[in-house]
Structures are given as C-alpha cells and as structure tokens.
Amino acid sequence: MKILLGVSGGIAAYKALELVRLWMKAGHQVQVVMTEGAKQFIAPLSFQALSGQRVRDSLFDLAQEDAMGHIALARWPDVIVLAPASADLLARLRAGMADDLLTTLCLATDKPLVFAPAMNRLMWANAATQENVQLLQSRGWTMLAPESGEQACGEVGAGRLAEPASIVSRVAQIMSHAAEKPNQAWLGKRLLVTAGPTFEDLDPVRFIGNRSSGKMGFAIAQAAADQGAQVVLIAGPVNLPTPKGVERINVRSALAMMTAVQANYAQADVMIGAAAVADYRVEQVAQQKIKKTDDQDRLTLELVKNPDIIAWVAQQSDKPYVVGFAAETQDVVNYAKEKLKRKGLDMICANQVGEGIGFETDTNQLTLITENETVVLELSSKRQQAEALLTFIIEGVKN
C-alpha cells in the first residue's frame, strides 16, 4: 500500500515516527509530508531515515517539485493519513485552503482521507474544532478519534493522538473496505425522497413544527446515491448538509412539499416518503405577529387539513413504487399495516418514536412491511437501516 503521511505541528508528532516504522515493517511505501509547524517538533531527517524517502515540505521548492510535482504526488498514494492533525490543520482543511504542500495535496486528491487529531483538551473541545471535524467527516473523511488521558501540557482530558498501532490497524481496515467492489444495485434507478419536518407558519415569527431531524431521509438519499441512483431529495427545514451527488430541493410547508413532489414524482422509479409532514396548517397565515392581549386567556387556532402527499402519489396512474414511513409511539406494526392499506402504498417502514428513539437520534430500528411480508431489522445506524431498506426495495422492484 502507498501511504502519504501528513504530519502537522504538535508534541504528538514524535508518535508519527512509530507509525512510519510500523508501516515500513509491514512492507508498505510511506511518503512523509510535513507542515512548517511539524518541523518545529521533529527533524525531517528522522522521517527520511525511517521511510527511505525524502520528506516533502514545500510547495515552491524547485528541487522537490522536480522530483515529483505536487499534483503527481497527490495522485501517488492509496490513502492519505494525517497524524497528528493539529487544530490549525483541520481549520485550514475545512476552509479548503491550499496554503502549503499538505493542504494542497488534500485538496487535489480523490483518495480516502483519514485524520487523527491531537491537541490540548480545550482546543479539542472548542466548538470551532468540533465543527471543523464534523464538517470534514460529512465530506467523507474518516476521523480516528483522539484518546483521553494525561497530556503533554500536564492537563488531563481528550485530545491525545490515537495509539500508532491502532491507527495502523484502522487504516488497514478502511483500505480493505475500500477495495471491496462498491454496491451499485441502484445504478440507473431514479429515487425521490422526502425528508425532515414541515413548518406551518402561523404568523411571520411563529410556526407549528415537529421533532423530525431529517437524518433518516438524508441517510436514504446518500446511500441510494452511493449505490448509483439518481436522487432528488425534497427537504423540509433541517440543518443537514446535502448528501454528495444528490439534487436537493428545500421546502418549508406541507403545501410547498406537495408542489415539489408533484413536479418530480413522474420521473421517479421509487418514492420514499420519510418526511414528517404536518397534518394541519392554519388557513390564512397572519400578515403581522399575533398579539397577546390582557383580556385573552385562551387563543383558539383553527386548522385545516394538509393534503396527504404520499397518498396522492399512490393514486396516480403513472405512480412510482411508493414507500411510506409510519412513526408511532405505540402499537407500531398494526398502525403501519393499516396505513399501508389506507394510503395505497407498496411498502411501509414502521418505527417506534419517543424519548431517545427514532427522532433526533443517529440510530433506528425499522420494520419493513409489504402486503405479503414483514421484516424486522436490527437496531443500527440510520445509514445501515437505509442500506437494508434500499436492498429490500430493489429486490422487490426487480421481482
């Protein structure tokens, strides 16, 4: 395996030497790239001696560029590992900067990127760092989380570089996974997904909403796109990044979601309605903020029913294969079966919701129900639930 090891500034940089030693011993090729900060902690010569390769550190050094230009260098590895990844490096990478050789290589590659942060515990806990880490992960980068313990600065907490041996085995795992043939079962299929809540405005500042995070629908959209599907995602108001390769249409209310679905359902082979659509809305949104008055102890809102989007799609003659969701707090499967029939769906995914399950969480447990079959999935991440659901649907659509 060809490994490009990026070392940034921090006391943990000395542990990167052990990484190089372990990889070389296992027969891999290692090319080390150091930031200016890293060179304050370890001499490039140490890495050079272990890796048998000249350490690279400059974007503008003619002699270095002569040996292998930085674009060629970005293409060379099978994987890029950043260890230790300093807070500064993560911030620069998040911003897409290319102000030194290492950041430029990370920007100019399509290879798997793995980063192992190491820093003082307060720097690690800082909201800026946490946000940077989350964003990099949402771009598909893999984080090897820092460990807790005594730090070089004398403090105790999370921020120590993961142990070199565990970095080596995790990178090996990631690479063997990446070498597996990707599942392209949805190649050429067109999928329409609704996700998230809808917000029904009462006046310019208030609305009726619900606790749907949108995570399940977004996980489905991402998993389907990864399996080759052409995905249109109609998203209610949620705070989630757009899945890679997915066309996203943002809406706020049930009526807006209905309009977007009507414009898109006919081009889809499958529709999955994971949105928690509000059942009711106010007929007329107040033009100005509704005032509270001293003599009024009660306020009555009159609500009108929203159209049932998925039931509408299921009635169309050119309808796709329609999959709904039934989030219930009790008697989940029976309610779901009733809903499958009443709405005329091809399939329904039932799940229990309530404190700590289903909504707002990263895990879920779906029961997949068609007219003839009921399959209970095991509790797992929403991504894994999405993959199991997509496999089940595509088998059904094929038969």
Q: Are 367 and 375 in contact (CB under 8 A)?
A: yes
Residues 6+ apart with CB under 8 A from 294: none
Residues 6+ apart with CB under 8 A from 204: 286, 287, 288, 289
Side-chain half-sphere exposure of 157, counting CA atoms within 13 A: 12
Shortest approach of ligand C5P to residue 396 CB, angstroms?
17
Q: Are 102 and 6 in contact (CB under 8 A)?
A: yes
Shortest approach of ligand C5P to residue 372 CB, angstroms?
20
Shortest approach of ligand C5P to residue 329 CB, angstroms?
11
The site for ligand C5P (CB under 6 A) is made up of: 194, 254, 273, 275, 277, 306, 308-310, 324-326, 339
Between 117 and 236, CB nearer to ligand C5P: 236
Residues 6+ apart with CB under 8 A from 334: none
Shortest approach of ligand C5P to residue 254 CB, angstroms?
6
Between 30 and 353, CB nearer to ligand C5P: 353
Between 35 and 306, CB nearer to ligand C5P: 306
Nearest-angstrom CA–CA distance, 158 and 120: 8
Shortest approach of ligand C5P to residue 242 CB, angstroms?
19
> Catalytic positions, please?
153
Between 37 and 396, CB nearer to ligand C5P: 396
Between 189 and 339, CB nearer to ligand C5P: 339
Phi, psi for 380 (deg, rounded to 5): -160, -175
Nearest-angstrom CA–CA distance, 342 and 336: 10
Nearest-angstrom CA–CA distance, 196 and 98: 35
Classify 90 in phi/psi space as left (phi over 0), alpha (psi -120 to 50) or beta: alpha
